[in-house]
Amino acid sequence: MKRTIYILSFLAAIVCLTTCKSNRSNQDSEFIQKADALISQMTLEEKLTQLKGMNSWDIAPIERLKIPKFKTIYGPFYGVHEVVAEFPNPVALAASWDTTLMHMIGIAYGTETKAYGYDQWLGPCVNLHRLPIGGRNFESSSEDPFLAAEMNIPLIKGIQEKGAIVALKHFALNNQEFFRASVNMIADERTSNELYLYTFRQCVERANPYGVMTAYNKINGSFGAENYELITNYLRGKWGFSGFVVSDWGGAHNCLKTFKSGLDIVMPNEKVYSPDSLKSQLSKGLITEKQIDEKLRHFYTVRFKTGLFSGKKESYGNFVQQNKELALKAAQASIVLLKNDNNMLPLNADKIKTIAVIGPYGEYPTTGGGGSSRIRADYRVSLIKGISNLMGNKIKVLFAEGALTDNGKPYKLDLKYFFSHDDCKENGLTADFFADTDFKGKPVFTKTLNKLDLKLNSFFKKGELPDTFSVQLSGFMRPPIEKWYEFFVTSDGNCTTNLDEVYAANIPKTGFMCRSMGQNIYGPKKLYPVVFKFRKTGKDDRLKVEWSQVYNNGKDYLTEAKNIAKKADVVVLNAGFNNYYEGEGIERQREMPGNQDALIKEILKVNPRTIVVLQSGTPIEINDWEAGAPAIIQNWYNGQEYGNALAQVLFGNINPSGKLPFTWVKKYDDSPTMKDYGKDSTKTEFKEGIFMGYRYYDKNNVAVQFPFGHGLSYTTFDYSNLKVNKEFTAKDTLTVTLDIKNTGLVSGKEVVELYVSDKVSSLPRPVKELKAFSKVELGAGETKTVTMKLGKSAFSFYDPSKHDWVAEPGEFEILVGSSSRDIRLSNTVHLR
């Protein structure tokens, strides 16, 4: 039976351009009036408290006017910073190419944000993947602006449907971590509009985000928070943004420039918008109170619109379980089957007695990238656990790390690097015992501890053990090497860890291991104060402290892995990067840590039935071993259900349907963006112009490892019967239809990708550009008709001489396929 499905692409954008601004203005009038009425009651002092944070995350309440505290949460991309569901990272979600799923995840994010008492969710990030080694690529969606927009628009809508406010970020051209706080990103008008501003514009005009966050970097000479051209001319002027604009944390520098740019709120508790700074500008006549009121109007209109003054408490139901189930669904949809020679996958459980899981992440997976977006989930399922959950005792699982990396595994705290006093004469930590749980008064007694896996009641005589007490462990750390350190606390009480007073992690759960935020420590020379606080409130009193430092202890990891691989019917080698190497503030290194490339080559020699599973947010150079690997899977940083989803794909319970949202290069230096990267800390010039990502590789016929949009399935699909009107005008909607059939033996999902190619243009254009897509689910043998509609925008380019988008008459080719380099059908149309 043939069925028909539809997808609206640029048609929705066209309708929105003509109607959204006026409708939005009419809808906002009621809330603007309420905002103005409230602002009119505020004193100048009260107004000034609302333009900056009162602390790191919140904007102060005004009790006199019953204005509640405004609370933000930095859970920007795959969960909020609480013990909640940890979803796959954003690039993984983009690999699903599933807009319906993104809307559901948006609702989940919004629900969690509001349920935990927060008002604003600081995301999503829609910056493009310009560098193949970009440290925060995992936090954003794609190298392609169209795909990034289509995936984030439903996400934003879902979040805000639950009353939470987003902060669309980082505005703009925030595409590297190298000197991100000061570097000047230089791009011409066309490049900016066609690539780096495109996704922001689409999200603003079609999803109506209530908040936008500026970038740290400069854009063509002006910091993001001071950029009048971007904030006032583009965001508010051309695009009709009506919400409030907030700086990235610490991203504002000059009071007057920031104020004049159009930015509303400076975060966190910044001197840039301090009352004294703003009063000084007022006294000089450089700013007016009316302009202050305008900034508050943006802020309070949103707060009224989202019901933050209503006091209404919403019932969220069993959202925790629902979101966990959704996290699994998202992880399943995100996995990309990159290679599958001779149908190595799926594995046949009936023919396997022993499976070897090898690699540093088999037991401790990395479920999210590093930096400010890291969260603390209830649990994280490893591949070993995922196989066990799926197969029970049917298959024997062997495990070997194979390589030594910082993989999230806790190691014994080596006290030779810790000292009770800053004179470094005595190893250990000082333990101060208090008779209550609040660390008040003088300690009952003090002792230097030379181990940190102990029962605290051992320090009391029999019969003297109080029901409650508290212990503070303090001292100094002299790290052996420069790296990011984390502490792991296993306890039966309530613990807090503090490293150099930079990060603190409150650990409310009891009876299991918890991880602190950690800190990037620079070198072995400096002493770092450390504090661990323990509150005993029950009968048990175990306290164990470990850390992330790696120790070899003379173990031959490679030989152990080879021996295990020889014994197994099949090997799953879990390799890649983790959140110590890929995260905020750093660009990712080129080689996989721990010499994992050598590990893969050696394991393939002893057992050619080896499936390589990679985790990363970016492409990895795999030329040294790719030819010998029969199957390769990209599993990303895939959230708390990492192992369950992966096991289900390996054994065929789930048919993989993910597609790459970026081009997987053979060599990083194949990217034009790497030519000048790192050579100048003051500026980055976008010399490649609009030819970034697959646009560049297509134009220059560069061979790639896997093309943009690539992803295999356990079934096959046939494309046929492409139909499209041959002639149309810029006022018309072009309807494209085709049939797709599942020609295999199992059900599956295929992403139908539509690209447009301009045959003749007055300005250089890419060979092809993604302009529509549809994810189609088909049973074995089933056929469906896919309909996609294209408006004028699908055929337009930005003309800097006109400072606008134009669609030139002429011939265009409609290209439909399974990836950017697997085009199955084409047809030529003529724009009159």
Q: Please report whether residue 514 resides in a domain.
A: yes
- 541 pLDDT band, cuts 50/70/90, is low
Closest CA to 131 of 185, 81, 79, 77: 185
Q: How far apart are CA 537 and CA 496, in angstroms?
A: 14
Q: What is the mean pLDDT of residues 76-97?
A: 78
Q: Please report whether residue 690 resides in a domain.
A: no
* CATH number of the structural domain spanning residue 732: 2.60.40.10
Q: Which domain holds residue 202?
A: 30-305
User: Are residues 610 and 757 part of one domain?
Assistant: no
- 22 pLDDT band, cuts 50/70/90, is low
Count of domains observed in the chain: 4
Tell me, what's the pLDDT at 461? 66
Tell me, what's the pLDDT at 509? 29
Residues 546-602 pLDDT 10s: 887 787 778 899 999 999 999 999 999 999 999 888 888 889 999 999 999 999 999
Question: What's the whole-number average pLDDT of the chain?
Answer: 89
Q: What is the DSSP string of 732-791?
A: SPEEEEEEEEE-SSS-EEEEEEEEEEESS-SS---S-EEEEEEEEEE-TT-EEEEEEEE-
Domain boundary among 663, 679, 694: 663
Name every residue whose Cβ is closer than 8 Å to that of residue 806 and which is 6 or more positions away in sequence: 796, 797, 798, 799
Token couple for 496: 């807090």
Beta strands in 95-144 (DSSP E): 120-121
Judge whether residue 810 has pLDDT over 70: yes
Share of the chain above pLDDT 90, in %: 72
Q: What is the mean pLDDT of residues 646-661?
A: 98
Judge whether residue 2 has pLDDT over 80: no
Residues 306-359 pLDDT 10s: 998 877 767 777 888 899 999 999 999 999 999 999 999 999 999 999 999 999
3 state DSSP class of 614: strand
Q: How far apart are CA 141 and CA 99, in angstroms?
A: 13
Tell me, what's the pLDDT at 16? 47
549 Cα distance to chain centroid:
26
Judge whether residue 533 has pLDDT over 80: no
User: Are residues 381 and 282 part of one domain?
Assistant: no
For the chain, report the end-to-end CA distance as a whole number of angstroms: 37
Q: Rg of the chain over CA atoms, in angstroms?
A: 28
Tell me, what's the pLDDT at 239? 98
- 21 pLDDT band, cuts 50/70/90, is low
Tell me, what's the pLDDT at 406? 82
Judge whether residue 484 has pLDDT over 80: no
Q: Please report whether residue 699 resides in a domain.
A: no
* Position with higher pLDDT, 288 vs 504: 288
Domain boundary among 505, 521, 547: 547
Q: How far apart are CA 636 and CA 368, in angstroms?
A: 8
User: Are residues 374 and 508 part of one domain?
Assistant: no
Q: Please report whether residue 773 resides in a domain.
A: yes
Q: What is the mean pLDDT of residues 149-177?
A: 97
Q: How far is residue 504 from each of residues 380, 530, 532, 533, measured CA to CA in Å?
A: 21, 11, 10, 11
Residues 355-385 pLDDT 10s: 999 999 999 898 888 777 777 677 889 999 9
Q: What is the mean pLDDT of residues 493-521?
A: 38
User: Are residues 771 and 649 part of one domain?
Assistant: no
Judge whether residue 491 has pLDDT over 70: no
User: Are residues 177 and 65 part of one domain?
Assistant: yes
Q: How far apart are CA 688 and CA 678, in angstroms?
A: 16
Q: Please report whether residue 777 resides in a domain.
A: yes
Share of the chain above pLDDT 70, in %: 88
Token couple for 413: 């705290």
Residues 445, 448, 450, 452: is their CA dihedral positive or negative?
A: positive
Q: How far apart are CA 291 and CA 317, in angstroms?
A: 42
Q: What is the DSSP string of 688-710?
A: TTT--THHHHHHTT---SB-TT-
User: Are residues 731 and 610 part of one domain?
Assistant: no
Tell me, what's the pLDDT at 18? 47
User: Are residues 416 and 404 part of one domain?
Assistant: no
Q: What is the mean pLDDT of residues 202-211?
A: 98
What is the helix (H) or strand (E) element at residue 203, kind and residue range?
helix 198-207
* CATH number of the structural domain spanning residue 612: 3.40.50.1700
Q: How far apart are CA 584 and CA 503, in angstroms?
A: 15
Q: Please report whether residue 707 resides in a domain.
A: no
User: Are residues 416 and 403 part of one domain?
Assistant: no
Low-confidence winner among 96-100, 516-520, 799-803 (lowest mean pLDDT):
516-520
Low-confidence winner among 51-60, 224-233, 532-541, 595-604 (lowest mean pLDDT):
532-541
- 525 pLDDT band, cuts 50/70/90, is low
- 540 pLDDT band, cuts 50/70/90, is low
User: Are residues 568 and 512 part of one domain?
Assistant: no
User: Are residues 35 and 134 part of one domain?
Assistant: yes
User: Are residues 210 and 137 part of one domain?
Assistant: yes
- 107 pLDDT band, cuts 50/70/90, is very high
Tell me, what's the pLDDT at 506? 29
Low-confidence winner among 158-167, 210-219, 511-520 (lowest mean pLDDT):
511-520
Q: How far is residue 303 from each of residues 67, 478, 670, measured CA to CA in Å?
A: 10, 47, 47
Judge whether residue 719 has pLDDT over 80: yes
Closest CA to 485 of 413, 577, 420: 413
Q: What is the DSSP string of 241-309?
A: --SEEE--TT----HHHHHHHT--BB-SS-STT-HHHHHHHHHTTSS-HHHHHHHHHHHHHHHHHTTTT
Tell me, what's the pLDDT at 368? 86
- 148 pLDDT band, cuts 50/70/90, is very high
Read off the amino acid at residue 36. D
Tell me, what's the pLDDT at 38? 97
Q: Report the b/e string of 752-782 with b at 16+ CB within 10 A.
A: bbbbbbbeeeeeebbbbbbbbbbbbebeeeb
Q: Please report whether residue 11 resides in a domain.
A: no
Token couple for 437: 């749980």
- 457 pLDDT band, cuts 50/70/90, is low
Residues 402-414 pLDDT 10s: 998 887 777 888 8
Do the Cβ atoms of 458 and 556 come closer than 8 Å? no
Q: What is the mean pLDDT of residues 168-194?
A: 96
Tell me, what's the pLDDT at 505? 29
3 state DSSP class of 164: coil
Residues 47-81 pLDDT 10s: 999 999 999 899 999 999 999 999 998 754 445 54
Domain boundary among 547, 569, 587: 547
Q: Please report whether residue 315 resides in a domain.
A: no
Residues 663-713 pLDDT 10s: 999 999 999 999 999 999 999 999 999 999 999 999 999 999 999 999 999
Token couple for 159: 């979040």
Beta strands in 548-651 (DSSP E): 570-576, 610-615, 631-634
CA angle 790, 795, 801 (to 5 degrees): 145
Tell me, what's the pLDDT at 698? 98
User: Are residues 496 and 371 part of one domain?
Assistant: no
